[in-house]
Amino acid sequence: MPQFVSPAQAVSHIKDGDTIIYNNFLSVINAEQLSAALNERFKAEGHPRDLELYCSAGLGGWTPGNVCEEIVCLGAVKAVTLSHFGTTPEIARLILENKLEAYNLPFGVMSHAIRAAAGGQEYIISDTGLNLFVDPRHKGYQLNEKSRRELVEEIIIDGKRRLKYAVPRPDVAFIKASSCDGEGNISMEDEVAIGDALSVAQATKRRGGIVIVQVARQLEEPRHPMEMVIPAALVSYICICPEQTQVQGVPGIDPLLSGRQQLSDAALGEYVRQQSLQSREDPAKLLIARRAARELREGHVVNIGVGAPEYVAREAARSGLLSQVNLTVESGPMRGLPAGGVPFGAAISPHAICTAAEQFDFYDGGGLDICFIGALEIDRAGNVNGHYHPKKLSGIGGFINITQFTHKVVFCTSFSAGGLELEGDEQGLSIKSEGRFPKFVDSVSALSFSAENARQSGQEVLYVTERCVFKLGEKGLVLTEVTPGVDLQKDILDRLPFEVEVDVLESPSPTTA
């Protein structure tokens, strides 16, 4: 039976050199109180040190030096393996400055690796990442000169190249949940996602490690066993933290995000319309979303990414499409409206919530009809960099799992970034100020999406910007649409660092922001 202790007492059992595995998804299901206690112990004792951190998604916060990345900033950590670095800007900075050993692997691969570790396996075999930056032929997952471990190998099975990924070896698990019963069985009824909570606990327990779970409360009455996500037998310590929040940095519990309260699809449309009136929407993202949403079809199972793709979900809600399509998020929510910004990973009024590993089973199996996802760079061949720039480390997250196996991929990005200013009226779009950072480059800095992979698998690929649309052709990008009001030569062709095939049959209807 687990012991009920304070966070400080729980983290006192962590030793120098331990690997801590987190069941985080960015700023949700984030064990903040455990992280804070670990930080305070290190400040007081100088221990534990030489820690390694493993998280299939990413640690939360979004702001520099937040509570989850502070242990790294304090110098207690020697290595991190994460899929996403956007919420930990100081960790990203240390990596780019070659001050921290670090590895970047696909979210889905890491999620499946945790499940495999729970079953005592030493590795997993996957097609995810073939010919991309994680492929040993590229070695892009080793993020700097300090990072020399071989976590991915090329193997041949039945004459076909595949990738062999190492699984984690956790000594300590940090898990956030909602409540526990008197025996210590764990439930997650107020959380917006499950992550891989059970697998994280199993993988740690089978190695003789310690499993620490923070919850908001202890239940007075027992729940149905099907509602208990982690059995008490797997838990070492439980910390009652009534101050914990659902989303890091956002006070309180929103029952719409956990699904305990439901809105109809029509009500979600009205919710988005009201939100639009209360806050100014980005005109470029709005234009992109309106065009991208035209690719949705009844019955589609859809993944919505962060950034500009979030607007596609809003457009679907505004236009009454939510009842016709199935929007999903890689963290596990199905249906409802994917939440953007800080609570990304949640959905407003989800109809069901899977574990992350289960969601990626479906994604990797080609279950998605279409996905909408962002891009840092796009080159002449149609390759996309979605995770890395020498001055910006975002991390791959679920990008590869989503884009490598989905039937239709729609990249949603502005033509340039950093100061782009637009005006729109009944005559069409006018570009008042160009962004300082071009998105279209001669060659991408890192390979997150391979145009050649897409051609071989028969994927349909679109690249939607505020001023034009490209498709993936046999030889590379093909310009197919120009937004009314945009000058083809001045605003598009002259700003591309390469020549592009032009096949503009007709312009789309005027769409203004």
Q: Mind telling me the catalytic residues?
A: 330
302 vs 238: CA distance, rounded Å: 37
Distance CA 422, CA 415 (A): 12
* Phi-psi map region of 307: left, alpha, beta (phi>0 left; psi -120 to 50 alpha): left
> What pairing do the DSSP bridges indicate for beta strands 228-230 and 186-187?
antiparallel
| Pick from 494, 464, 490: nearest CA to 479 | 464
**Partners of residue 179 on adjacent β-strands:** 187, 217
* CA dist., res. 312 & res. 330, Å (int): 16
For the chain, the first-to-last Cα distance in angstroms comes to 58
Helix (H) or strand (E) holding 361: helix 356-364
Distance CA 168, CA 19 (A): 9
Give 42: exposed, middle or buried? Use CB within 10 Å, 0-12, 13-18, 19+: buried
Give residue 406's identity as a one-letter amino acid code.
Answer: T
Is the four-CA dihedral 417, 418, 421, 424 of positive or negative sign?
positive
* Separation CA 135–CA 1 (nearest Å): 43
Residue 145 to residue 129: CA distance in whole angstroms: 21
d(CA 114, CA 111): 5
Cβ atoms of residues 378 and 368 within 8 Å: no
Whole-number Å distance between alpha carbons of 125 and 106: 13
Q: What is the C-alpha separation between 384 and 377, in angstroms, rounded?
A: 6
Type of residue found at 442: D
Burial environment of residue 14 by CB neighbours within 10 A (0 to 12, 13 to 18, 19 or more): buried
Greatest alpha-carbon span in the chain = 71
Long-range contacts for 150-153 (Cβ within 8 Å, ≥24 apart)?
Answer: 151/81, 151/103, 151/105, 152/105
Residue 252 CB neighbours (<10 A): 7
Q: Which two tokens stand for residue 235?
A: 């838990």
Residues paired with residue 472 on neighbouring β-strands, in sequence order: 477
User: Residue written as tokens 């890395």?
Assistant: 388
Residues 53 and 21: their CA atoms lie apart, in Å, by: 6
Q: Tokens representing 278?
A: 């209360």
